[in-house]
Structure 1
């Protein structure tokens, strides 16, 4: 049985990835802070729980992971939509810590096991890593740094039998992500998805993660950008009925 470690596994994309991998026969380790959420997911998947904040992860936290075939770095987040001139440096620090340093710590801890198993690392970044936008400077900066980390690691691991993939989702319907970013303002969070016909779901991203993870061991997908049909770019979002027939 192959072993997967999934961070951010208590909700959203991380939870969807963990559940799909578990259903597909993987031995899954759920990594997140919220024990109550992890307990419910583990009860439905027979997954293992590692309760922690990845920005403080240590080798000791992963002693029970004897081997690792797949690391999915989903833990992340955005905080605030302030313009650069008014932005909160503490929000920037939180975003950098979880998106970049959390990913760094997880890779450093598990990399030797991934190389030994000739496994795969999938870092979930964002299309925010591709260009800036108003009110997104802190999140774009953090995701750009995570993207740079991924690209550098891929080059540094030349000659090693390990696959390294960056997955860049566009608009994904993850209300909790938006609530956190907007300080719990439900009206503003809901407005993000208003009239968008079929934004991506966490389960869509999980399917792509599973697809990449299950490719032959010699096949590396360097990077994969995925958006809903309603979104053609960061600034080309159609709001309205797409008249789907299925």
Structure 2
């Protein structure tokens, strides 16, 4: 199932291309348009790249919803149900393909950021930490996206529902320090998953202390991923009864 989903991505690379182009365009906009007006106590490019990485992962993970919705809409799932194929493997194929695809596109975005002047100072252990946090984030969002793909009735609706994945990092410390936000918004930004994930990735890449952000980030990812997995499994079962 993973191989099948990867072949579909290679035959229709538009999602992969958009997963790279959109974050890079936002990176260029923040760096060259807004960067001069931002005061983050250091190089703004070093500050904003972790936010762009989250944006890239979130935007790419949303593709799993479109893939699942496409399978449901085209009727291939009905054929799978007549074969010796478990429902977990069908959904897991989309999720694991999303993980592999998004790790690739995120790596390409980091290389482009390095070409623009981003200079991470992380050692190999910290790079493994970055990959681990991002993998957990992508898996969590991909399972949630799979549930959304089963909930809606067509791929177009799935694409619209996952817009929230792109919006969430903006209301966090991914792009601006939390103390610059108004008080009524700061509380939400401090207690949503994008903030500890962004702080973990930023601290790991720049060799700064991350405190308990990594633990909080992984806890959020585990909760979101488990909820997405359970909901997706139940929706898959219910739609098979109709």
Q: Which has the higher helix share?
A: 2
- TM-score scaled by length of structure 1: 0.32
Rg: which structure is higher?
Answer: 2
* Larger proportion of strand: 1
Greater relative contact order (Cα 8 A, min sep 6): structure 1 or 2?
A: 2
